[in-house]
Amino acid sequence: MMITNYKIYENNLNLNTIIDFTIIKDYYTIDNIKEYCNLAKEKKYYSVCTIPKHLSTVKSFLNDSNIKTVCMLGIPNGKQKIKIKLNQIRDNILNFDELDFIINYKILKDLSLEDDDEKKQNILNDLKNEIIKSVRLCHKDGKIFKAIIEIDELTYDEINTICNICSQCSVDYIQTSSGFSKNKLSLNDKIEKVKYIRKILPDYINIKISGGIRTPEQINEVRKYADRIGTSVKIF
């Protein structure tokens, strides 16, 4: 179920096979989606990532290929109630192979304003419970679970906290970004945070780098640290 870390890719075709080609714009038409899916098949991308609204359409256009379908849930900031998130997983699980799940990272920001240690721990336990339930629901059906933690929004201490929680919850991937954050790290700053994430994660948890990856040069910079790359741009 896991993908080996630290792969080195020597040509464009191999690079394409670690790309989650992302089409998450709400306004896309069926013709737009078909065009993107045909491009994904032509370029042999690993997967197409989309929102629930487009998921069944994407799956139908990819049925004649080996390309995986990925569903992003929790847009834009993961603040939905757990019952809603779990119902969304159940409603869509037959149409996706992997789930990109936006963690409620704002909980971590709010913790810094909380003085009561017991309340802090209860908040973290609630977050952990949400992730555990979501991971178990995916793994029960053999689906891959990627936890989107929005590193553009988090300090190193906050990244450490959420990565430790995710490790305890048996996530398959830590994903850097959803693309919906208004904060945009420079690529160098993002790489530094990814290096830190790799250092604190268990080896069996993979990393997906996404958000702002738009050129072959950028892929070459991040590929040493990434098992998967998310992009909405035709790079090769």
Task: Give one DSSP letter per residue of 67-91, joined into a string.
Answer: -EEEEEESTTTS-S-HHHHHHHHHH
pLDDT tens column, 55-70: 999 999 999 999 999 9
Residue 52: pLDDT above 70? Answer: yes
- Pairwise CA distance, residues 53 & 110, whole Å: 31
Position 101 scores a pLDDT of 98
User: Is residue 78 one of the residues assigned to a domain?
Assistant: yes
| Structural domain contains residue 2 | no
Instruction: Answer whether residue 8 shows pLDDT above 80.
Output: no
CA distances for 142 relative to 59, 93, 97, 99, 137, angstroms: 17, 10, 8, 11, 9
The domain spanning residue 226 has which CATH number? 3.20.20.70
Please, which pLDDT band fits residue 197 given cuts at 50, 70 and 90? very high
Decide if 7 is inside a domain.
no
Q: What is the mean pLDDT of the chain?
A: 90
| Residue numbers of the domain that contains 51 | 12-231
The CA-CA-CA angle for residues 10, 13, 186, to 5°, reads 70
Asked whether residue 5 is assigned to any structural domain, the reply reads no
Say how far apart CA 152 and CA 105 lie, in whole Å: 11
Assigned domain for 50 exists: yes
Q: How many structural domains does the chain have?
A: 1
Q: Which tokens go with 100?
A: 């990109």
Tell me, rounded to whole angstroms, the distance of Cα 136 from its chain centroid. Answer: 17
Summarize the confidence of residues 180-191 as an average pLDDT: 89
Query: Does residue 175 lie within any of the structural domains?
Result: yes
Q: What's the confidence (pLDDT) of residue 12? A: 59
6 pLDDT band, cuts 50/70/90, is very low
Residue 127 · residue 107 · CB < 8 Å = yes
Query: What's the average model confidence in pLDDT over 114-137?
Result: 91
Over residues 1-23, mean pLDDT? 62
